Amino acid sequence: MKKKIGVYICHCGGNISDYVDVEKVYAEVRNEKGVALAKITMFACADANQKEMEADIPEKDLDGVVVASCSPQLHLTTFRAVVERAGLNKYDYVHANIREQGSWAHSDNKSGATENAIHVVKAAIAKVRNAESLEPIKISSVKAVAVIGAGVSGMRSAIALAKAGCKVYIIERDHFVGGRVAQWENLFSTNETGEEIIKRLYNDTINNDNITLYTGAQVLSQSGNIGSYRLKVQINPGFVRNSVYSYEMDEAISVCPIKIPDLFNFGFTQRKAIYRNHSGQLPIMAVIDDENCTRCGDCEKVCKDIDFSQQKKEINIEVGSVLVASGFDTYTPKNNEFGYCVIDNVITLPQLKRLVAMSDRHLEYKGNRIKNIAYIYCVGSRQLDGENKYCSRYCCTAAIHTATEIRRKYKEINNYHFTRGVRTYGKQEIYYSEALKMGDVFMQSFDNELPEVLQKGNKTFVKIKDILTEQKELKLQADLVVLVTSMVPRDGISVNDLFKLPKGRDGFLKEIHLKLRPVETVIDGITIAGCCQGPMNLTESVNSALSAATKSYSYVSKGELELEPIIAKVDKEACTWCDACFKACPFDAIIKVEEGFKVFARVSDSICKGCGMCLPVCPKDAIELNSYTNREIEEMIDMLASD
């Protein structure tokens, strides 16, 4: 039982004190049982105040501390560190949130907010009175990282980790590396091609002894926790023995009777069930697509390198951290959204890029020579009715860059941009000015009055009420309408579900805090990189990938980690093993132990997350949660419910 508690109440520079009467809170709590010192501070988190607390603790001989300020998400660790520096156990500290749950939530009711704050602080004092000192759980950390996805983000972070001396396992679902960037030709800012970029990364990847690359692989299951995640990975065979280019392999591909749309070219072309990598993808080899192959055996007859005896393999790897770089999908417009799927010559920007990559001397689509291209921006982004409220960030620049590249390649093309305000932020502005200088025409629609795509006879028109020409109704006959589509979260990524990674309102994976912890997730040891987190261009993805590498590295570099001791513990004497807790635990942390005739439950320290699911189901009340013991919670409730 703590008898000398220090309480600090924070103004948060007006964030709290504009709505909560901090003086009144101070007056109400200073005489609470056990409180030896109470103070008001402008910024509790500021260095000067931290120093003051550090001095107060030995001076007043404090044995427990409460800071009433913002969310513990922001500053719990800050103040735990303060009390530790002053010689207390860090669990002698309790955080009272009177900002997010107080002043901000009740900004319309100042006296109510003050009442709320008084009760919350009193409850925190009650909790710290009963707090017990705890020691962190120390576990060893495997100096290895699993990287999910072998796009640019995945490979780039893998190389950085490997150079720092970590073992890295890259797990790529596809049989080839390269992700989305493999599909693009010239990239903005340096005009390198996607192929060149992927080649550089692939060479660095396979030439580094610390990296093991698994293609055609997916994670089947996971167990463990930060420091030691055990992944079961399934590796699907390509059914081809020799990867070198051969005439027989060409034959094998040409005799294959199966034709399916080639997603690499967004369905513009078809491929066989046995197919090669596209230029841009690596390694150079052919594979058989198990899903579509009928095992007719035609390829086997002409090529000796086909090997249907190859089996699926399962391997187990152990890593200290997992870095998720699972990328994005491009938005597929709805049926008849700006005429997509209904009007013949409406395609998307990614399709246009592939079309250009595959075209030679003229830009042609379905046999027609293209002269006028209309680009409609923000398709799948900034939707008024749809779900995607966000801006996809890369598309304005991508569209303008593609358009100007097309004009350089095919002099006869005219570009017409139907925008909602061009967002070529930062240095990318130069692409916009270049396009203007080259004679591209830009129009802008109102957000609630978007352009329309119409078909009259065999001609396609785009109609807009243009802000830039005093709201004139303009109509353009276009040979090709290009929908500048957004980035959307990628579906069917097994690790997202296996690790229960949280998603934001936009559907992309969610970081803990955009500024404080931008590449970490709430699942300890799992970092996120690149476009799985939200739309980014290539440079931004790489920055994010390298940041994630930095974080993942810091989880494993020392070989040891400290975990929160806030876990459940079973009173072995009271437990009668009814298995209720075993069933309730979402993390499989409960182990059945038999000692002679005695059967009881035990909690695995490193797996338990302290969620508390096992507590209420126990019929014998034999489980307690460290730092949230029944006594602490009961006294807190008494305080919250008091007048």
Instruction: Identify residues 346-385 at the interface with another protein (CB under 8 A).
Output: 381-382
Identity of the residue, 523 or 549, whose beta carbon is nearer to another protein in the bound complex: 549
Question: Could you give the CA distance from residue 549 to residue 528 in angstroms, rounded to a whole number?
Answer: 9
Q: Are 361 and 411 in contact (CB under 8 A)?
A: no
Candidate ranges 220-228, 243-251, 398-406, 467-475; the one touching another protein (CB under 8 A): 467-475
Parallel, antiparallel or unpaired: strands 368-369 and 364-365: antiparallel
Question: Could you give the CA distance from residue 321 to residue 329 in angstroms, rounded to a whole number?
Answer: 25
Q: Does 389 bind another protein (CB under 8 A)?
A: yes
Tell me how many helices (H) and strands (E) the chain has.
16, 34
In sequence order, what DSSP letters do the residues of 474-511 get, joined into one string? EEEEESEEEEEE-EEEPS--HHHHHTT--B-TTSSB--
In the chain, what's the furthest Cα-to-Cα distance? 91
Identity of the residue, 2 or 551, whose beta carbon is nearer to another protein in the bound complex: 551
For another protein, which residue of 515, 594, 597, 641 counts as binding (CB under 8 A)? 515
* Range 185-224, binding another protein (CB under 8 A): 187, 189-190, 192, 197, 200-201
Burial of 447 (0-12, 13-18, 19+ CB in 10 A): exposed
Minimum distance from residue 201 beta carbon to another protein (Å) = 7
What's the residue count for the chain? 643
Q: Are 398 and 356 in contact (CB under 8 A)?
A: no
Minimum distance from residue 426 beta carbon to another protein (Å) = 4
For another protein, which residue of 516, 522, 591, 640 counts as binding (CB under 8 A)? 516
Candidate ranges 170-178, 285-293, 319-327, 462-470; the one touching another protein (CB under 8 A): 462-470
For another protein, which residue of 66, 124, 146, 160 counts as binding (CB under 8 A)? 160
For another protein, which residue of 206, 260, 356, 391 counts as binding (CB under 8 A)? 391
Q: Are 37 and 66 in contact (CB under 8 A)?
A: no
Identity of the residue, 107 or 133, whose beta carbon is nearer to another protein in the bound complex: 107
Q: Are 539 and 210 in contact (CB under 8 A)?
A: no
* Range 7-36, binding another protein (CB under 8 A): 12-15
* Range 399-438, binding another protein (CB under 8 A): 421-430, 433
Burial of 96 (0-12, 13-18, 19+ CB in 10 A): buried
Candidate ranges 71-79, 215-223, 293-301, 332-340; the one touching another protein (CB under 8 A): 71-79
Take residue 239 and report the two structure tokens written for it: 């059914």
* Range 85-104, binding another protein (CB under 8 A): 85
Candidate ranges 43-51, 138-146, 303-311, 574-582; the one touching another protein (CB under 8 A): 43-51
Identity of the residue, 201 or 464, whose beta carbon is nearer to another protein in the bound complex: 201
Question: Could you give the CA distance from residue 148 to residue 618 in angstroms, rounded to a whole number?
Answer: 38
Minimum distance from residue 598 beta carbon to another protein (Å) = 45
Identity of the residue, 213 or 556, whose beta carbon is nearer to another protein in the bound complex: 556
Parallel, antiparallel or unpaired: strands 167-171 and 211-214: parallel
Candidate ranges 68-76, 235-243, 448-456, 572-580; the one touching another protein (CB under 8 A): 68-76
For another protein, which residue of 208, 234, 414, 557 counts as binding (CB under 8 A)? 557
Minimum distance from residue 420 beta carbon to another protein (Å) = 9
Total residues at the site for another protein (CB under 8 A)?
Answer: 82
For another protein, which residue of 223, 471, 477, 630 counts as binding (CB under 8 A)? 471
Q: Are 480 and 462 in contact (CB under 8 A)?
A: no
Q: Measured on CA atoms in the order 97, 103, 109, 115, is the torsion positive or negative? A: positive
Q: Are 422 and 442 in contact (CB under 8 A)?
A: yes
**Helix or strand run (H / E) with residue 159:** helix 152-163
Q: Does 542 bind another protein (CB under 8 A)?
A: yes
- Which residue shows structure tokens 């006959």? 477
Minimum distance from residue 26 beta carbon to another protein (Å) = 19
Question: Could you give the CA distance from residue 523 to residue 400 in angstroms, rounded to a whole number?
Answer: 39
Minimum distance from residue 386 beta carbon to another protein (Å) = 13
For another protein, which residue of 413, 519, 590, 615 counts as binding (CB under 8 A)? 519
Identity of the residue, 396 or 483, whose beta carbon is nearer to another protein in the bound complex: 396
In sequence order, what DSSP letters do the residues of 56-80 get, joined into one string? HHHHTT-SEEEEEES-HHHHHHHHH
* Range 168-187, binding another protein (CB under 8 A): 187
Minimum distance from residue 509 beta carbon to another protein (Å) = 11
Write down the H helix ranges in 13-105. Answer: 22-29, 47-59, 72-85
Binding string, residues 486-505; x marks residues near another protein by CB under 8 A: ------------------xx
Take residue 110 and report the two structure tokens written for it: 């100042």
Helices 22-29, 110-129: axis angle to 10 degrees equals 30
Residue type, 93: Y
Binding string, residues 130-159; x marks residues near another protein by CB under 8 A: ----------------------x---x---
Identity of the residue, 50 or 460, whose beta carbon is nearer to another protein in the bound complex: 50
Candidate ranges 37-45, 216-224, 355-363, 582-590; the one touching another protein (CB under 8 A): 37-45
Number of Cβ within 10 Å of residue 563's Cβ equals 19
Identity of the residue, 193 or 236, whose beta carbon is nearer to another protein in the bound complex: 193
Take residue 245 and report the two structure tokens written for it: 């280019």
Between vectors from CA 345 to CA 340 and to CA 351, what angle results, nearest 5°? 75
Minimum distance from residue 295 beta carbon to another protein (Å) = 41
For another protein, which residue of 1, 27, 46, 591 counts as binding (CB under 8 A)? 46
Identity of the residue, 12 or 94, whose beta carbon is nearer to another protein in the bound complex: 12
Identity of the residue, 229 or 553, whose beta carbon is nearer to another protein in the bound complex: 553
Q: Does 533 bind another protein (CB under 8 A)?
A: yes
Identity of the residue, 216 or 327, whose beta carbon is nearer to another protein in the bound complex: 327
Q: Are 447 and 420 in contact (CB under 8 A)?
A: yes
Identity of the residue, 310 or 550, whose beta carbon is nearer to another protein in the bound complex: 550
CA-CA distances (angstroms) from residue 143 to 149, 445, 526?
Answer: 19, 53, 14
